Amino acid sequence: MRVLLLAPTVVPLVTGNAVTVERWRRALVGRGVDVLTLGAAGLEAEDLAAAVRRFRPDVIHAHHLYRSGSLLLDSRVEAALGGGHRPLVASPAGTDLYLDVTVPERAWVVHAVVDRAAALVVQGRATAWQMEALFPWAAARVVRVPKSFAWLGSEPFDLRAAAGWGPGHFVFFLPAGVRPVKRNLECLRGLAGVRRARPAVRAFFAGPVLDPVYGDRFRREVERRHAFAAWIPSIPPGAMRAAYEGADVVVNASSAEGLSNALLEAAAAGRPVLASDVPGNREAVLGDGAETPSGLLFGLEDRRAFARQALRLVDDATVRRALGEAGLRRAARWPGPEAEAEGLFRVYDAVLAAGPDREPGGSRPAPGEREQRDADHQRGLARGPHGAAEAGDRPPNDRRGGGGDRVPG
């Protein structure tokens, strides 16, 4: 079996999307699958079409409906794919389901990729729920493959030395590509306020610029605050475990997330997290609701809550230790990369067996259902970027507005 994995970014860039597809690639290759990974950022449709003709994949897997899937809608790529005769598997990102669907010029792309896909792979419960809420006509094609995590190496990396800091400093670490949805700049400004209260606080950012305008603003702000902040565009993928272990707290300040690799990796490294209270982060931090949290949550636009939770982590070593230990216990129960790859392989095998005109669970909806689909889609858009229209529709771990104060006693 030959699979083309298309993602917004791929290694050596260190982003959540790149780490995910590299983990998939390694485990699928171990399963005997021939895999080609391509980064959609900066890739022209003509180049993708040429790669398809050379590699001749049996299955295309687009990770990120808008940023990767949009290339597949180009007529040149469709021609190289034989007019849709190669099955498409797609996996939505948090930005697809909470942000892109609210922007008309992006929503139609997300909608078209959902329609085109023979299977839609989700990895978190919140993502599965949101996918089915927005696109009820596609529910039969939504397949959950539980997410794993894997360290991509064991290289050393001294995060504190890279910034010129010592053991007496308290380091918050935000690993993410620099773009508005990750709120790198807003996090930097929030931590500047925390540092005024606790002068030992430092902020370390790592990730490539993915939005040039926002990236330039972020770079200038880091330079202005160089006394306590540092940023490097990349840490070698094999050194990420050492980077996490060099921090005191890992931060995710995103306005939309699926199931963040950074939060899973922080848990596996035994580091407490400070995360924005959005559905994907809620799932990563709180687990199934019966588990001990691995971090603290803060309201997305609540600066006081951010400062309060950050100061709690700075001041209370017992809380930090309890959260870190809870993360380690949870990580020990996650499926391994081989199990994750087996789940993906079964999806690919099913769409190949079903053929180009059928989805794994049955025939595709009839053309006459388009009006109903569009009406359902508009109802989904009306729910807004952060959740369902009604409280009763929320997933079990939805704690909107709760602030995330629950931690071990």
Residue 74 or residue 393, greater confidence = 74
Is there a single domain that holds both residue 325 and residue 346?
no
Is 266 inside a domain boundary? yes
**pLDDT band at residue 45 using 50, 70 and 90 as cut-offs:** very high
Burial label for 381, CB within 10 Å (0-12, 13-18, 19+), is middle
Are the beta carbons of 235 and 14 closer than 8 angstroms?
yes
Q: Sign of torsion, CA 127 130 133 136? A: negative
Q: Domain end: 309, 331, 353, which one?
A: 331
Task: Note down the domain range covering 244.
Answer: 159-331
DSSP state of 139: G
Tell me what percent of the residues of the chain surpass a pLDDT of 70: 86
We report the CATH number of the domain holding residue 123 as 3.40.50.2000
Q: Answer yes or no: is 85 within a domain.
A: yes
* Residue 380 belongs to a domain: no
* CA-to-CA dists, residue 62 to 190, 302, 328, 400, angstroms: 35, 35, 31, 30
Residues 19 and 46 occupy one common structural domain: yes
The whole-number pLDDT of residue 391 equals 25
Backbone angles phi, psi at 82, to 5 degrees: 80, 35
359 in the same domain as 324: no
If you compute the radius of gyration of the chain from its CA atoms, what whole number of angstroms results?
Answer: 21
| Whether residue 41 is found in the same domain as residue 77 | yes
Q: Please tell me whether residues 245 and 101 are part of one structural domain.
A: no
pLDDT tens figures, 300-336: 989 999 999 999 999 999 999 999 999 999 999 999 9
Number of domains the chain contains: 2
Rounded-to-5 percentages of helix, strand, coil across the chain: 50, 15, 35
Annotate 14-50 with DSSP letters as a single string.
-SHHHHHHHHHHHHHHHTT-EEEEEE-TT--HHHHHH
223: Cβ contacts below 8 Å, ≥ 6 apart: none
Terminal CA-to-CA distance of the chain, rounded, Å?
Answer: 51
Q: Can you give the pTM of this predicted structure?
A: 0.83
What whole-number distance in Å separates Cα of residue 300 and Cα of residue 302?
6
Residue 263 and residue 180 share a domain: yes
